Amino acid sequence: MHESAWERDEGAGPKLDGELRSAFGIREEIERRVRSGIWAPGERLTSERDLAEHFETTRVTLREALSMLESEGRLYREDRRGWFVAPPRLVYDPTERGTFDRTARAQGRVPVTRLLDFAVVPCAPRVSALLALPVGLPILRIRRQRFLDGRAVLYVEHHLQPDAFPGLETADLTGSMTEIYERDYGFSYGGMVFEITTVGLHPAAAEPLRMAVGSPGLLVTRAHDDRAGRRVDCDFEYWRHDAILVRVAA
């Protein structure tokens, strides 16, 4: 957002008295501008220095206010890029398979998937526990970065049984993995288990999400069986915590 954004609301807010200069007062004023649409979703805020000058406060107090709004999902921060007005959260049901693109489009969003790599890697302990494979056994790993309306919101790792989908590396891996399995291999899932936890983002997840290492994230872990009950793959989805609203239909 440019400094002219302040001019769009000139005179609309309260005077900068002592209460407004407090962290809570600044938070209330920024939220008012976001809620009223003066600052649009995805709009970049001006620099922290300019914001502090506008509110006649210190950078420490300003950051406290911005952090409140970040924790509430009103604003989000990208590493080395600054603060932005958060768009609406994507309503997401982790029990459904292959729904990122379809769910996003149904909610008027624009999804994009970028393939980061396809590799054969040693089976890590957490993958071993989910796939019932020996630690160190070579398995397939696919890493992808997913965007909503140009914003990176999801980093995902897919780990697969090494013999499950021969030739998978030649497929277009920027779409739905479920659709690839069904179309190219005649495969459909059986059962599934999943869990959701909060995590501090490790470097491999933080970088594609444009967040600082250790920032809070939401980890959705899923493991899938085939129709015969054999565990075939597992996913680790690292979401920006402010990007989704988890909703599971009973």
Q: Which of 51, 85, 119 is a domain's end point?
A: 85
In this structure, the answer to whether residues 23 and 107 fall within a common structural domain is: no
Q: 69 and 187: one domain? A: no
pLDDT at position 1: 42
> Same domain for 230 and 124?
yes
Structural domains of the chain, count? 2
96 and 67 inside one domain: no
Task: Give the integer Cα–Cα distance in Å for 57 and 82.
Answer: 18
Q: What pLDDT digit, counting tens, does each position of 12-58 carry?
A: 444 445 555 689 999 999 999 888 888 888 899 989 999 999 888 89
In a shared domain, residues 26 and 124? no
Contact 219, 112 (CB under 8 A): no
Candidate from 38-42, 134-138, 196-200 with smallest mean pLDDT: 38-42
Give the CATH number for residue 45: 1.10.10.10
CATH number of the domain to which 112 belongs? 3.40.1410.10
226 and 104 in a common domain? yes
Q: Do 12 and 34 fall within a single domain?
A: yes
Residues 37 and 133 in one domain: no
Last residue of a domain, one of 36, 52, 85: 85
Tell me the pLDDT band of 80, cut-offs 50, 70 and 90.
confident
Q: Residue 178's domain spans which residues?
A: 90-246
Q: Give me the chain's average pLDDT, please.
A: 88
CA distance 199 to 79: 18
pLDDT recorded at residue 13: 47
If you average pLDDT over residues 215-232, what whole number do you get? 93
Q: What confidence tier does 11 reach under pLDDT thresholds 50, 70, 90? A: very low
Of 43, 60, 85, at which residue does a domain stop?
A: 85
Confidence of residue 159 (pLDDT cuts 50, 70, 90): very high
* 109-119: burial string, b at 16+ Cβ within 10 Å, e else: bebebeebebe
Same domain, residue pair 168 and 146: yes
State whether 55 and 119 are in the same domain: no
Same domain, 162 and 197: yes
pLDDT classification of 120: cutoffs 50, 70, 90: very high
Q: How far is CA 1 from CA 24, 41, 48, 246, in A?
A: 22, 11, 12, 29
Q: What global pTM score does this model have?
A: 0.84
Between strands 244-246 and 90-92, the pairing is parallel
Whether 53 and 176 share a structural domain? no
